[in-house]
Amino acid sequence: MWLEEVRGRERGELRARRFEAAARARRAASLALSNRKEFATPHHGAVNSLQVDLTEGRYLLSGASDGSAAVFDVLNATDCEAGFIAKHKHILLVDKQHQNGHKFAISAAVWYPVDTGLFVTASFDQYVKVWDTNSTQVVMDFKMPGKVFTAAMSPIATTQMLIATGSADVQVRLCDIASGAFTHTLSGHRDGIMSLEWSASSEWILMSGGCDGAIRFWDIRRAGCFRVLDQSQSQLGRRPPLLKSTPENQDHIDSLGHSTSTRSSAQKRTRNSKNSPKLRKSQNLTQGHMQQRLHPGLSSSQNRATSHYGAVTGLRTTKDGMYLLSSGSDSRLRLWDIDSGCNTLVNFEAMRLQTGKPLQLAVTEDPSLVFVPCMASIKAYNLWSGMTFRAFRGHYELVNCCYYSEQDQELYTGSNDRQILVWSPSTPAFTEMEDDEKRQGLSAADEDNWSD
Amino acid sequence: MPRSTVSSSFAGHRTPAAEAEMGSNPSSSAAAAAESSMASLIERATSTTAPAVDPVLLRAIKSSARASDGAIRDAFHLLLSLMSKPHSHVRLLAFSVADELFMRSKLFRSLLTDALDGFLPLAVGFRRAHPLPPPAASAGLLRKAAVQALERWHHLFGAHYRQLRLAVEYLKVSARVQFPGLRATVEARAAREARTQEILTAKVEQLRQSLASIKAEIRSTMDEIRNGLEIIRAEYEKFEGYVNDDDDAEQEIASLSMRSIRMASLMAGEWLPETQENEAVFDALREAYRLLVSKHLVTVQEWISVLVRVNLQDNRFRDSALKEFIDVKNEIRAVRDQCSELGLDLDNVRRRKGDQEEEDDEFWVEGNIEAPSPAKVQSSVDVASTSRDTGKGKKVVGGVKSDIGKAPVAGNGTRNLDPEKSKLFAEAPVVQWSSVLDRWGSSGDAHVNQRGLELESHWGRVDNDAVIPAAKIAELNVHSSVYREAPVEILPCHAPLKKGGLCQRRDLKVCPFHGSIVPRDAEGNPFEQHSGSFGAEVDPVEHCDIRGNSNELNGNRDGDYMEEASSSRMTDISNDYGNIAGTHDLGNVTVELARQAIKNVRKRDMDHKARERAQRQRIRQHNEDVLREAAIASTSYSAAAYEQPPESWGRRGRRGKAKAPTLASMLKKKVTSKDRIAERLLNTRATDATIREASHNEDMSYREAFPNQW
């Protein structure tokens, strides 16, 4: 099958992008615990946050409960064990012994999106610190009014460099690295803020999920929140494609798995899509208008809408910026259409999530799979159908975070057992061949050994 | 994907239905026949109470597992479900089967490692919430077996399975499970061994060069010692002759007994006293001896141990060197024994040295302090000379030393010999320790500030010349003691008991079980009865005498009460005897004698009572005297106790001020100027108030009287 695709590409039957997407999807589908690559954890506590830098895709930043943050080189191993096990040791570590280190657990560690010269750590000791990577010194710190649960920087921003921070306080604060001050305090939540996510399509839009179960959208150029997601306001399935429904998409909707409603919704969808796009546009316009009018205070009913029963523990947008995934302490994963603000009602299969901690979700770059830390395992769900695709078992304690590296199609997961595990695409036959080459008779061959 | 089936089939939570589903896995359809046999085999293997799996069954399981992959899959799933059974023994047996398969089948390994995070808690039980199930013995075995197996797996296949590495690391670091670490310890020991061998070989190489010099050094030291001993022996022979020749010449040894002791010690030790002329020899000998024992012997022993432990390819040098060293060691031992036979031992040497140094130090310090005072030039010069002339000093010290050595021997003799002193000792009162002893016998005044420190007291100025007059001190030192009777030992009853043994009750006069207490012999027969049995024939006077004697004995032992009791009893007894004697038709003389005896006894009895009364009187008198003295001498509590009229104290105090202040007067409240001022202030305030009130009243009455005029 793989060879066929290669041949198709050779013949020019397959476009380059499609070929690439197919390759990526295949690799993403074959993730397994990597035996070739491992991170030697320097942490003495739960790993709470993982992120690979956005510029090179090479440096993994991890933040842990013992107040330490470490940077690993993902590409180049520091040493090799038994000939073929690449061991990645940390190339930078700041912990409690550091003169400016955090006193308590680091809840979030994020790279400065523009280069790897800076990173930001948020900690339960109520500080958000900005570090110079090269000198491992604190450049700037911000004192928050409570434990800081999360921090986020916009990956696409060009005009602002704000760190959005969510803490046990009800306000979202935006810290400006340039001035060293809070530029915004966004109030609206009725409880602490567990998760924050910048929009992937607009650099001004910030989304926040609070312990009060609400997900609020903020336009940082204007006062107040302009949208509160409501779990009862729903649209069925995926947003209809704007131009025309391709046969694939039809298939996809059909494969959603709902027996009767799928059929009807599909029909509706097709009918809708067959209807002129004008209608939809007008709908959108009216909606937008209403929104405009409503905005400053929002009507009280809308203002009290919730998206989860319980706290919103994790938020993640898809790469295209159209959908938002949220996880809640009600052990639910919801997929939201950002544009309409509707719950898409994708039924993600039964899962059990941690309730008291921010979770870090991961989505593949073509939004097809979402990785969710479910207690001691990580589950991969099909984003559109909600079906469980795989469960990744390997951690011995609760998993807090996962990060999907688009460049290498690798999944990094951090857990309470201090480990950072690498899940990489595995092609068993291929790796075995390599193993045979590299093995130097150091350890027993992994083969059948029937003595009797 | 085959992997999805693997990962979805996960430990423990599997139902039989799922089991069946897994069983009907298409991949295992080929082994459908084998499946049932595999299932039944494993069931049979794990449903026994035997400590281990039956080897025949195990072989059968292995052979059927070898047949097909499907069988292995089935076995894996079945074993997983067995591992989740709430019974440790079942788990133990299942685990041993799994271990066998894990070591052999690659497929089984890949299956198990993928499910390892669910499998391990069931086998090791490291999760607090899910400990291993009940049979505790099996649980212990299971845990041990699991940990050992995991270590083995990790060692063999760790490179191929990240899960194994993770599991071991997690158990070691996070769950803190103790791994037996057999391999690690063996390796560590080997490494340590290698390192020590390296060091030892290096040492031996070093020895190869320095062997000759070491031996030469030791030899020379030993020669030195031998020479010294030779010299001493020669002198000793001379000395022996000297001792035998003129005994009388030793004037400094005063008494005969002392001299005999000294002679005995000398003869026993074959020891020559150290004198001024042979001092140099002794010093050299001591030096050499110390060198030999503390340095050479130790080095030789070290080298021997090194040579014994070292492992060389070429053992010739080692053997020869070892032999030589052992010879040298024996030689050293011989020399040391010789020395100790002669009484020259290291401790002795050291002590002498130490004393000497101490003395020197003291001299030096003293000289330093005394030097600046011009009045004592003479003494300081004296001291300086002693400290400078060490030889002389040493000699002095030696003399002192020997004196001290003799002292304990002589002490007994003198104490025994001096009758005057012993008499004084007998008379001397035993006084409890107190501060009185500090100034015993001195009758001068004492400084209040005894320590002579210049202290600025915050209570006020200190008069450094303040003196406590001698009279006052005598008053303070009046020593009171309450008479205490000598403790009386109450004798046990000692009447023979029915069950054997003697009655151990201690009563004053009468034992409640055996009547009055009588002195008895070892078997518990009373002396009186014993004598009384043949007393009929014996002269009663003699009887009385005997009784009197025994009585006295009794009295001496038991004290006054006993004496009284026994004596009264005895009169009765003797009366009886008198009667008996009368009835026995004996002569008048004997009757007379008996009466006389009784009279005597009664008289003595009376005497006793009178003496006793007098004694008590004396005691009472003494106690009263003592108490009164104490009361007069000391403080208020005695005054309160004896209710002396307070005015007498006051008089005493006021009059005594001229002579000497007493302790009691100190208790009297002094009216200070402060008090006087306070009183006066209070009075003035009171008068002010009364004046004000009076004027106010006046005012009020005025106002009332002339309401419109104010």
Q: H/E/C letters for each residue in chain A?
A: CHHHHHHHHHHCCCCHHHHHHHHHHHHHHCEEECCCEEECCCCCCCEEEEEECCCCCCEEEEEECCCCEEEEECCCCCEEECCCEEEECEEEEECCCCCCCCCCCEEEEEECCCCCCEEEEEECCCEEEEEECCCCEEEEEEECCCCEEEEEECCCCCCCCEEEEEECCCCEEEEECCCCEEEEEECCCCCCEEEEEECCCCCCEEEEEECCCCEEEEECCCCCEEEECCCCCECCCCCCCCCCCCHHHHHHHHCCCCCHHHHHHHHHHHHHHHCCHHHHHHHHHHHHHHHHHHCCCCCHHHHCCCCCCCCEEEEEECCCCCEEEEEECCCEEEEEECCCCEECCCCCCCCCCCCCCCCECEECCCCCEEEEEECCEEEEEECCCCCEEEEEECCCCCEEEEEEECCCCEEEEEECCCCEEEEEECCHHHHHHHHHHHCCCCCCCCCCCCCC
Per-residue pLDDT at B391: 39
Contacts of A449 in chain B (CB under 8 A): 103-104
Q: Which residue has the higher pLDDT, B627 or A287?
A: B627
- Domain borders along chain B are 36-180, 211-240+275-342, 491-521
Average pLDDT of chain B? Answer: 70
What's the mean pLDDT in B13-28? 42
Which residue stretches of B125-181 are H helix?
136-157, 162-169
Judge contact between A409 and A400, C-beta under 8 A. Answer: no
For chain A, list the domains and their CATH numbers.
36-236+303-428 (2.130.10.10)
Mean pLDDT of B339-359: 52
A–B CB contacts, 8 A cutoff, strictly below: 76
| Chain-chain contact of B117 with A33 (C-beta, under 8 angstroms) | no
Cβ <8 Å between A452 and B163? no
pLDDT at residue A198, as a whole number: 94
Pick B170's closest partner by Cβ from A417, A448, A450: A417
**Whole-number pLDDT of residue A359:** 93
Beta-carbon contacts of B599 under 8 Å, excluding residues fewer than 6 positions away, are none
Q: Which of B62-76, B131-145, B151-165, B262-276 has the lowest mean pLDDT?
A: B262-276
Q: Which helix (H) or strand (E) holds B232?
A: helix B182-245
| B157–A443 CB contact, under 8 Å | yes
Mutate to test the interface with B, among A27, A398, A446 (most CBs of B within 10 A): A446
**Considering CB atoms only, which of A376, A447, A452 is closest to B62?**
A452
Top-ranked range on mean pLDDT: pick from A270-284, A408-422, B201-215, B313-327:
A408-422
CB A357 within 8 A of CB B79: no
Predicted confidence band at B212 (pLDDT cuts at 50, 70, 90)?
confident
- Chain B residues whose CB is inside 8 A of the A34 CB are 162
Contact with chain B for residue A444, Cβ under 8 A? yes
**Which has more confidence, B407 or B118?**
B118
Measured between CB atoms, does A436 come within 8 Å of chain B?
no
Q: With 70 as the cut, is the pLDDT of residue B260 above it?
A: no
Chain B residues in contact with A350 by the CB 8 A cut-off are none
pLDDT, residue B264, reads 58
A400 close to A359: Cβ distance less than 8 angstroms: yes
Higher pLDDT: B130 or B30? It is B130
Q: Between B105, B156, B160, which is nearest A35 by CB?
A: B160
Confidence of residue B368 (pLDDT cuts 50, 70, 90): very low
Task: Using 50 as the pLDDT threshold, list the residues of chain A that sit under it.
Answer: 243-292, 440-443
* Partner residue opposite B159 with nearest CB, options A392, A421, A442: A442
Residues of A in contact with B104 (CB under 8 A): 448-451
Q: Are A74 and A56 in contact (CB under 8 A)?
A: no
What is the pLDDT, as a whole number, of residue B291? 83
Interface of B with A (CB under 8 A): 1, 3-4, 7-8, 10, 59, 62-63, 66, 103-107, 109, 114-115, 117-118, 120, 156-163, 165-167, 169-170, 173-175
Handedness of CA A95, A101, A107, A113 (dihedral sign): negative
Q: Report whether pLDDT(B612) > 60.
A: yes
Are the C-beta atoms of residues B48 and B93 closer than 8 Å to each other? yes
The alpha-carbon gap from B320 to the nearest alpha carbon of chain A, in Å, equals 44
The nearest CA of chain B is from the CA of A303 a distance in Å of: 42
**What are the phi and psi torsion angles at A216 (to 5°)?**
-115, 145
Contacts of B129 in chain A (CB under 8 A): none
| pLDDT tens track for B634-681 | 544 444 444 444 444 444 444 444 455 555 565 566 677 788 888 888
pLDDT the model gives residue A185? 92
Residues in chain A closer than 8 A to B161 (CB atoms): 35, 446
Average pLDDT over residues B611-636: 82
Cβ–Cβ gap A446/B66 under 8 Å: no
- List the Cα angle A246/A251/A257 in 5-degree steps: 145
- Closest Cβ–Cβ partner in B8, B62, B157 for A446: B157
Low-confidence winner among B156-165, B230-239, B504-513 (lowest mean pLDDT)? B230-239
Furthest-apart CA pair in chain B: how many Å? 143
Q: Under CATH, which architecture does the B36-180 domain have?
A: Alpha Horseshoe (1.25)
Q: Which of A414, A367, A432, A448 is nearest to A25 (CA)?
A: A367
Largest CA distance in chain A: 82
Tell if the CB–CB gap between A418 and B174 is shorter than 8 Å.
yes
Mean pLDDT throughout B260-268? 57
Q: Which residue from A392, A397, A443 is facing B156, i.e. has the nearest CB?
A: A443
Chain A contacts of B114, Cβ < 8 Å? 393
Nearest by CB: A396 against B63, B160, B170: B170
Q: Is A2 on the interface with B (CB under 8 A)?
A: no
Distance CA B66, CA B60 (A): 10
Give yes or no for residue B353 having a pLDDT over 70.
no
Q: pLDDT by residue (tens digit) across B432-487?
A: 777 777 777 777 777 776 666 666 666 666 677 778 888 888 787 777 777 878 88
The answer, yes or no, to whether residue B531 has pLDDT greater than 60, is: no
